[in-house]
Amino acid sequence: MARRILLINGPNLNLLGKREPHIYGHTSLSDVENQARTQLASLSSNQDQEFTLEAFQSNHEGAIVDRIQQAAGWGPLAEAKGPVDSSSSSCFQKVAAIIINPGAYTHTSVAIRDALAGVDIPFIEVHISNVHARESFRHHSYLSEKATAVIAGLGVFGYQAAIEFVVKHLKFKD
Ligand code: DQA
């Protein structure tokens, strides 16, 4: 069965390419997502394992929490589709890895940190800019301590780096 990779982008990242291009560049979010799909398809054909991408963007903290819970078959989004027993041998496949750019929620959200820790899915935290070279309030992340890896300052190439790492190097639990 294909492994599911979930790409989450938080607030204002829907404006990628338009928003502060001197910091975030000129590539749009849909270009990033399409590139990630193409990259995963090509990596899959070179591995024994197939990978599929699910892309999600929201400006709302609770919506991101709901989407993270859904990745494990839990929470309101999963229940809307009918209850899922993720511990049974039903055909539900838990997301294998999450790549997340939480945007400004990086620096504020205990709720997103708790959701990621709760679902116990390995995640890579990505920042387009080098947050450590910017304002001091961007230096702290509520997520990094729980992340498998943190990428910052590589521009949108950071998403590609994260995908390649997940496919080629991440040790999956199953
Ligand atoms: C960001 C950095 C955050 O501080 C900021 O709020 C963002 C984007 C980045 O990708 O560099 O929205 O996560």
pLDDT (tens digit per residue) in 63-119: 999 999 999 999 999 988 766 555 555 578 899 999 999 999 999 999 999 999 999
Question: Is residue 127 lining ligand 1, measured as CB closer than 6 Å?
Answer: yes
Sheet with 51-57: strands ordered across:
51-57, 3-9, 97-101, 123-127, 149-152
Domains of the chain, CATH where assigned: 3-77+93-169 (3.40.50.9100)
Binding region: 101, 107, 114, 128-129, 138
pLDDT recorded at residue 1: 85
Q: Give me the mean pLDDT over the 119-135 stretch.
A: 98
Q: Which of 24, 105, 142, 159 is catalytic?
A: 24
Centroid of ligand 1 to alpha carbon of 152 (angstroms) = 9
Contact by Cβ (8 Å): 95, 103: no
pLDDT of residue 147 exceeding 60:
yes
Rounded to an integer, what distance in angstroms lies between the CA atom of residue 101 and that of residue 99?
7
Radius of gyration from C-alpha coordinates of the chain: 16
pLDDT of residue 4 exceeding 80:
yes
Binding region for substrate: 101, 107, 114, 128-129, 138
* Ligand 1 mutation target, pool 129, 141, 143, most atoms within 8 A of CB: 129
pTM of the complete model: 0.94
pLDDT recorded at residue 81: 78
Known catalytic residue: 24?
A: yes
pLDDT (tens digit per residue) in 6-39: 999 999 999 999 999 999 999 999 999 999 999 9
